[in-house]
Amino acid sequence: MADRKANKNAVVKNVDMTEEMQIDAIDCASQALQKYNVEKDIAAHIKKEFDRKYDPTWHCVVGRNFGSYVTHETKNFIYFYIGQVAILLFKSG
């Protein structure tokens, strides 16, 4: 079950997606953060879940310090923090 406490700790910085997808992204990221310690593994988990649930091709970046400038499909982008960890998730391609 998703950790609703993590949802309250999530801070969305920029978003272009439905409320339902936002909740899914935060829930999925929360689960990945609990399951994995390596940022690459967290990103892979989120990407694979979104590819499965919302069709390919999703891209995910997870980390504490990075810059980005990406092109994404309309209604398929979210950038948020859970604690100190930033998650950038978007669909392109």
Tell me the CATH number for domain 10-91: 3.30.740.10
CA 38: distance to chain centroid? 15
Residues 54-80: tens digit of each pLDDT: 999 999 999 999 999 999 999 999 999
Residue 4 has pLDDT above 80, yes or no: no
pTM metric for this prediction: 0.92
Each residue of 13-30: pLDDT tens digit? 999 999 999 999 999 999
CA dist 42 and 34 (Å) reads 9
Write the DSSP symbol of residue 21: H
Domain boundaries defined on the chain: 10-91
